[in-house]
């Protein structure tokens, strides 16, 4: 099978969106995008279309892979193949092309996530030198009434929000890194103080219909109770909004509070790194 | 018979569902995304909605909530079409108030039997 790999920048937004959506038909979790969503995705996550690739077979697009770049690391995302071309080596060719671009730029660390259960993709990434790091949960919550919170909150300005995001000790997934949140619209956050001197901070994105991108830190006090109070404040403030938040580590000690407030796991991803490097970034 | 809104972004899937429903004397309207769905819902009296969860502009789960609460569709059957595993689909149905779900890919008979079930 003779494949040609072309830079994604050779295509306009409409063409790229169409190619992307073709690769998501019949996928485990389809996640199609319109042009606006794809453009936002490229911007938020700092995807370089010059080094992202479209795979062509007999002149027709059959696959797509995107490469995002930040200092010292790159992220492979939205790897997808047209359904009839799966299992024929297109994915491997795309991955090799993306990794070659990353290597040529001198980037030592590559990150990606694969949906848990997508064994063919998982096997491919292992063969290419990726190693499992952790599992990440995608949580959803339908709107529902909650009890009144008892803790006090203080809303933060943008500078303070970015400060707290930058202080996180555990490296977040790419979508949740400070650079991503810094580029997102509708970001708000508050600090919380409980009656037993617990302290924490909470950041989220609010759009017309959704709450998303929940980030948090608990500094002093019981983690479960702090998280519970933060979520109570969020859902008291915005009782009618659907909530969707991605890539919370499956081992996060705050998850019990999420479950108590009606969050459930929609699916999970396995985060994988290649040539992991201990870079001090968040 | 019934006026059914199909909210589905994959053109072939939407056309197939429309053809099947039309052959069984239903009027099928198609929306390729959430925005189109809301436009149709604001102007039509619908009897049933078939909703694909993965839409290009808004999640199907979110759209369902908007249709129910803001477009006065509390009593209209909204059937979700999804490739999610059954246990996840059931969780979604319970949490979001779907009337029911149909797993993709579905057969002609399955589609018609689910539609008939919820129109009764």
> Mean pLDDT, chain B, as a whole number?
92
CA B9 to chain A, closest CA, distance in angstroms equals 8
Q: Tell me, what's the pLDDT at A277?
A: 59
B47-103 confidence digits (pLDDT tens): 999 999 889 999 899 999 899 988 889 999 999 988 878 888 888 888 898 999 898
Q: Which residue has the tokens 């991503």?
A: A180
Check whether B118 has a pLDDT greater than 80: yes
A199-246 confidence digits (pLDDT tens): 999 999 999 889 999 999 999 899 999 999 999 999 999 998 999 999
pLDDT tier at A167 (50, 70, 90 boundaries)? very high
> Mean pLDDT, chain A, as a whole number?
94
Query: Percentage of residues in chain A with pLDDT exceeding 70?
Result: 97
Nearest Cα residue to A180 out of A50, A77, A65: A77
Section A107-120 average pLDDT: 94
Please list, residue by residue across A221-250, b when 16 or more beta carbons sit within 10 angstroms of its beta carbon and e when fewer do.
Answer: bebbbbbbbbbbbbbeeeeebbbbbbbbbe
Q: Which residues in chain A are closer than 8 Å to B33, comparing Cβ atoms? A: 34
- Token pair recorded at residue A256: 């019990």
Segment of A25-34, A246-255, B99-108 carrying the highest mean pLDDT? A246-255
Section A84-101 average pLDDT: 90
Section A66-85 average pLDDT: 93
H helix or E strand, kind and range, residue B7:
strand B3-7
* DSSP conformation letters of chain A: --EEEEEGGGS-HHHHHHHHHHHHTT-SS-----HHHHHHHHHHTTEEEEEEEEEEETTEEEEEEEEEEETTEEEEEEEEE-GGGTTTTHHHHHHHHHHHHHHHTT--EEEEEEETT-HHHHHHHHHTT-EEEEEEEEEEE-----PPP-SEEEEPPHHHHHHHHHT-SSPPPGGGSHHHHHH-SSEEEEEEE-TTS-EEEEEEEE-SSEEEEEEEEEEES-HHHHHHHHHHHHHHHSTT-EEEEEEEETT-TTHHHHHHTT-EEEEEEEEEEES-------
Residue A210 in contact with partner chain B when CB distance is under 8 A:
yes
Q: Which residues in chain A are closer than 8 Å to B69, comparing Cβ atoms? A: 240
Helix axes A119-127, A90-104, angle to 10 degrees: 40
Q: Tell me, what's the pLDDT at A218?
A: 95
Q: Which residues in chain B are closer than 8 Å to A140, comparing Cβ atoms? A: 61, 92, 95
Q: Tell me, what's the pLDDT at A104?
A: 95
CB contact under 8 A, B56 and A33: yes
Q: Tell me, what's the pLDDT at A256?
A: 98
Q: Tell me, what's the pLDDT at B90?
A: 84
CA B37 to chain A, closest CA, distance in angstroms equals 15
Q: Tell me, what's the pLDDT at A280?
A: 46
Higher pLDDT, A173 or B97: A173
A149-165 confidence digits (pLDDT tens): 999 999 999 999 999 99
Q: Tell me, what's the pLDDT at A2?
A: 87
pLDDT tier at A68 (50, 70, 90 boundaries)? very high
Entry pTM: 0.92
Section B96-120 average pLDDT: 91
Contact A55, A94 (CB under 8 A): yes
Number of A–B residue contacts, CB under 8 Å: 57
Chain B residues with a Cβ under 8 Å from any Cβ in chain A? 9-10, 33, 53-59, 61-62, 65-66, 69, 83-84, 88, 91-92, 95-97
Section A53-66 average pLDDT: 96
């Amino acid at each position: 099978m003779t494949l040609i790999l072309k830079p994604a920048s050779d295509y306009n937004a409409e063409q790229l969106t169409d190619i992307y959506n073709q690769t998501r038909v019949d996928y485990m979790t389809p996640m199609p995008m319109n042009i606006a969503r794809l453009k936002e995705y490229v911007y938020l996550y700092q995807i370089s279309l010059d080094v992202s690739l479209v795979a062509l077979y007999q002149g027709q697009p059959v696959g797509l892979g995107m490469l995002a770049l930040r200092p010292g690391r790159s992220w492979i995302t939205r790897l997808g193949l047209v359904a009839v071309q799966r299992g024929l080596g297109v994915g491997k060719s795309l991955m090799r092309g993306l990794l070659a671009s990353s290597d040529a730029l001198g980037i030592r660390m590559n990150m990606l996530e694969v949906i848990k259960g997508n064994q063919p993709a998982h096997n491919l990434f292992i063969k290419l030198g990726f190693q499992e790091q952790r599992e990440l949960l995608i949580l959803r919550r339908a709107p529902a009434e909650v009890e009144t919170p008892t803790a006090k909150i203080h809303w933060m300005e943008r500078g303070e929000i970015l400060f707290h995001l930058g202080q996180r000790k555990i490296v977040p997934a790419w979508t949740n890194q400070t650079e991503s949140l810094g580029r997102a619209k509708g970001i708000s956050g508050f600090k919380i103080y409980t009656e037993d001197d617990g302290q924490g901070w909470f950041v989220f994105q609010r759009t017309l219909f959704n709450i998303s991108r929940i980030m948090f830190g608990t500094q002093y006090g019981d983690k479960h109770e702090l998280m519970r109070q933060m979520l109570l404040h969020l859902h008291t403030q915005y009782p009618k909004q659907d909530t969707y938040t991605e890539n919370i580590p499956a081992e996060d000690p705050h998850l019990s509070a999420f479950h108590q407030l009606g969050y459930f796991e929609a699916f999970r991803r396995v985060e994988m790194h290649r040539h992991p490097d201990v870079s001090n970034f968040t | 018979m019934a006026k059914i809104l199909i909210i589905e972004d994959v053109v072939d899937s939407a056309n197939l569902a429309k053809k099947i429903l039309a052959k069984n004397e239903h009027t099928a309207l198609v929306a390729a995304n959430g925005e189109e769905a809301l436009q149709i819902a604001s102007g039509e009296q619908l009897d049933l909605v078939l909703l694909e969860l993965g839409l290009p502009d808004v999640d199907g789960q979110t759209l369902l909530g908007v249709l129910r609460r803001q477009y006065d569709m509390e009593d209209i059957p909204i059937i979700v079409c999804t490739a999610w595993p059954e246990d996840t689909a059931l969780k979604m149905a319970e949490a979001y108030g779907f009337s029911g779900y149909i797993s993709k890919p579905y057969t002609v008979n399955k589609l018609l039997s689910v539609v008939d079930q919820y129109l009764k």
